[in-house]
Every structure is written in structure tokens, then in C-alpha cells.
Amino acid sequence: MSDVYVPPGGPPQDGPPDPRILQVVGEEGIRKLLSLHYKNLEETSIRDMFAKDMENAAQRAADFFIQILGGTPYYSQKNGPPRMRQRHLPFPITEESRQVWLDCFRQAMKDLPFPEEYRQNFDDFLESFSAWMVNRKS
């Protein structure tokens, strides 16, 4: 894959989001958030980057977010180490597709609703995490 783009600055340096998010929202809330996010993705230009079974994909993503928020390491138990950039390399992720993904996540946070006191922290994480997933120039 010689056309793989590496974002300047390397991997995110900020670390995971505040673990209190999981304490406040709970595992069920994280699963609901990711279900809403994936529902939003169904109607976008990047839909075909995702598995046919979006609910299953949402639950797999929820496992990841629960884990990085300090909860049970469901993702690693089921799938091995996250290595998210490596797992996403087969998909042509551009800055444009990243913005679609972020918009869908932010809409899900509004629809949940996500606790306001943790919104900026979580959004900052999503920004840096998703920037690292970009692997193709637009």
C-alpha cells in the first residue's frame, strides 16, 4: 500500500477520554450512543465502508469505547489488541470521510443526550482519534 497517507504529528498524544464518562453514562449508554452513531452512518456517503450488519458493527465499536473508558476490555477479549489504525487501513479514509464520521458521532451525542460536562473531552478525543485514522489524501 504505497499510497497510504500518514497524518502529520503521528498518533494521538492526549490519551483516552475521561473514564468518568463511563461511570456517568454506563455501558448501556455507551452501547446506545454507538447504535445511534451507526444508525446515522447508514444514510451517508461512507456507508459502504462498514459491515452489512450495522448493529453488530455498533456493538463491536461500543466494546472498544467501553474498554478505552476504563471498563471491561470486551474489545480485546473478542478481537485482540485494538490497533485501530492498522484495522482501518483497508478502507480509504480521507479527511472528507472523517468529517462525515465525526458529524454522525456528534449527532448521536446530541440525540442521546451525552453529559454536557464531558462533551468537550470526548469530542477532543474523537477529533484526535479520527485524525489518526485518515489514511488517504483527499
Tens of pLDDT, residue by residue over 75-103, are 999 999 999 999 999 999 999 999 999 99
Can you tell me the distance from the alpha carbon of 57 to that of 83, in angstroms, rounded to the nearest whole number? 16
Q: Which residues of the chain have pLDDT under 50?
A: none
CATH class name, domain 20-133: mainly alpha
Lookup: cell for 37: 452513531
Q: At what angle do helices 20-41 and 116-133 cross, to 10 degrees?
A: 60
Using an 8 Å Cβ cutoff, are 41 and 101 in contact?
A: yes
- Kindly list the domain boundaries of the chain, sorted by start residue: 20-133
Using an 8 Å Cβ cutoff, are 91 and 49 in contact?
A: yes
Can you tell me the distance from the alpha carbon of 27 to that of 35, in angstroms, rounded to the nearest whole number? 12
